[in-house]
């Protein structure tokens, strides 16, 4: 039997230490590789830390409340001998040598792994904020998966972590698609001397990673409905000045969209779900995320918890407050998590419709387009007439793994019904 140190991993750029919040396992407990062992708080986020080895949690070196520097040991894990380790990881015969697995440096996103004489010195760089286990890093090294390519592989582990199964699944299809990265000596130039090269910031890299992961996880399908919002538009035009004078802020269309979505989620609760493996988790709370464009062009999604319990006035104030603090970078981590459905207002940019990508692990997201005046045929007791109406497209993207077309289509139609049936006598 052997003992290995479990260290405080690096959990993001500029983070040099973390505070032990809670040990999820106790001394003597059996743990599996990549199983969460403790919760750690940093100055940016709270997260669970997985075990880099399977075995027995032999000794806890850092108590709850301790502040530990990145790279310092926090626990000892008792592992089996070399032969048992190779059987346990169930890797391909030619991927790992026994001594290589046992002597790997503790895994973190700044681990220095020398790949070969022609490979980058820093095999995994600080530009990639994801956690990688030693096994995943070793597979990447063996298969010449360079840092940029590794960062694009979708992970099915907790918080999007890449597992050995993800690596093997990726390797199966890797040969059938063009490699985006590889030996830099053979790479073709992608820019001319006149082009400007812009390095993605941390948020843009994270958004890019999450979008790719979502497209790989969910079977995206989109249904469209056009809604007649004339009654709502005329009502808002009538009250908006008095509302702003009374409340000191504007009333937008967004709270009406959120309210209609919350009502429809109650009617169709199988949209308010998430998927974990082969299980469907039916959510009790209706927590609606609202995509907010930041001044730098990035996107952030604050979440209105229990959105179905707010009045229209309450929703308006909540949305205005969260949008302002989002742009000022003053939202707490809790306000960015826990969403069960998401709204994206592409109409604010003058777009008539969009097909947004689902926020994992949710199964649906709705885009609302710009409201435009259109001629429309109306049925009246004296016959059909053509009138100018205020129309808007709603786009509902949903995960076809668990949401069939009928359900996805009925849901977006129900949202449109609530908006079309707006009572012009509403008091807010």
Q: Which residues are catalytic?
A: 400, 404
SS3 at position 370 = coil
Dihedral of CA 256/283/216/189: which sign?
positive
Buried b or exposed e, range 10-21, using 16+ CB within 10 angstroms: bbbeebeebbbe
Compute CA 131 distance to the chain's CA centroid, rounded to the nearest angstrom.
15
Place of tokens 């991927």: 95
Place of tokens 């786009």: 395
Could you give the CA distance from residue 50 to residue 135 in angstroms, rounded to a whole number? 13
Are 403 and 234 in contact by the 8 Å Cβ rule? The answer is no
Could you give the CA distance from residue 304 to residue 317 in angstroms, rounded to a whole number? 11
How many CB atoms sit inside 10 A of residue 268's CB? 17
Which residues are 396's β-sheet partners?
223, 366
First to last CA, the chain: 69
**Of 166, 99, 98, 96, which Cα lies nearest the Cα of 130?**
166
- Please, what is the Cα angle at 161 between 159 and 167, to 5 degrees? 150
Could you give the CA distance from residue 350 to residue 342 in angstroms, rounded to a whole number? 20
């Amino acid at each position: 039997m052997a003992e290995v140190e479990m260290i405080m991993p690096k959990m993001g750029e500029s983070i040099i230490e973390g505070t032990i919040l809670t040990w999820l396992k106790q001394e003597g407990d059996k743990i599996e590789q990549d199983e969460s062992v403790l919760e750690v708080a940093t100055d940016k986020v709270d997260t669970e830390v997985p075990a880099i080895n399977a075995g027995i949690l032999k000794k806890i070196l850092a108590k709850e409340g301790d502040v530990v520097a990145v790279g310092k040991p926090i626990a000892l894990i008792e592992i089996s001998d070399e032969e048992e380790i190779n059987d346990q990881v169930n890797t391909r015969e030619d991927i790992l040598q026994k001594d290589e697995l046992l002597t790997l440096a503790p895994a973190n996103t700044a681990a220095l792994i020398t790949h070969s004489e022609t490979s980058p010195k820093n095999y995994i760089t600080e530009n990639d904020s994801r956690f990688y286990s030693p096994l995943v890093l070793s597979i990447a090294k063996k298969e010449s998966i360079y840092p940029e390519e590794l960062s694009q592989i979708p992970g099915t582990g907790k918080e999007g972590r890449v597992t050995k199964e993800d690596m093997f699944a990726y390797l199966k299809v890797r040969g059938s698609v063009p490699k985006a990265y590889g030996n830099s000596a053979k790479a073709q130039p992608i820019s001319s001397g006149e082009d400007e090269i812009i390095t993605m910031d941390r948020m843009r890299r994270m958004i890019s990673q999450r979008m790719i992961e979502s497209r790989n996880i969910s079977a995206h399908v989109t249904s469209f409905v056009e809604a007649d919002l004339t009654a709502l538009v005329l009502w808002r035009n009538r009250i908006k000045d008095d509302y702003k004078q009374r409340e000191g802020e504007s009333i937008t269309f967004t709270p009406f969209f959120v309210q209609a979505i919350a009502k429809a989620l109650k009617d169709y609760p199988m949209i308010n779900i998430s998927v974990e493996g082969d299980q469907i988790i039916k959510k009790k709370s209706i927590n609606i995320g609202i995509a907010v464009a930041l001044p730098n062009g990035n996107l952030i999604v604050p979440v209105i918890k229990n959105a179905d319990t707010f009045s229209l006035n309450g929703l308006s104030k909540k949305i205005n407050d969260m949008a302002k603090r989002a742009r000022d970078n003053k939202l707490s981590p809790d306000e960015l998590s826990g969403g069960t459905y998401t709204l994206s207002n592409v109409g604010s940019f003058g777009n008539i419709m969009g097909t947004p990508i689902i926020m994992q692990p949710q199964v649906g997201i709705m885009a609302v387009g710009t409201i435009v005046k259109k001629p429309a045929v109306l049925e009246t007791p004296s016959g059909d007439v053509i009138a100018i109406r205020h129309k808007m497209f709603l786009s509902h993207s949903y995960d076809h793994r668990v949401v069939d077309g009928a359900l996805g289509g009925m849901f977006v139609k129900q949202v449109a019904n609530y908006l079309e049936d707006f009572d012009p006598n509403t008091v807010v």
